[in-house]
Amino acid sequence: MKKRDFHLIIIILFMAISALVLGRLTLQGYSNSTEAVIYQKDEEYLRISLNNPQTVVVEENGRLNKIAITENGFSMLESNCHNQYCLHQGEVTLDNMDQRLFGAWIYCLPNEVSIELVKGE
């Protein structure tokens, strides 16, 4: 192996490691500014950063939804809707939002409540 080949391998390794580090930093930036946006009747009800985990209660005219916001995403904890489909939609996270049937959303159609996971800038 010539000296130039060795230098070329070192440069390629340096570029690959730099790309991995930059990718990790970018992903950390997403998780720090990712938000759960709760809508009620097609209007924004509340916007919560995933850095602020909590349980949110959306209640109007006897309709009730409890939503768990975690550092990883969100899920519907409780609903008094008649079909309970929203409870079976599972958790939405950055890792699974691209593989889910409803993507980054959970819908409770009878109670007119929906939640979306929005990646930060």
**CATH top-level class of 34-118:** mainly beta
pTM above 0.85, yes or no: no
* Chain segment 24-73, per-residue pLDDT in tens: 655 554 445 899 999 999 899 999 999 999 999 999 999 999 999 999 99
| More confident position, 13 or 44 | 44
- Could you give phi then psi for residue 11, rounded to 5 degrees? -65, -45
At 79 the three-state DSSP class reads strand
Among candidates 94, 59, 44, which has minimal Cα distance to 74?
94
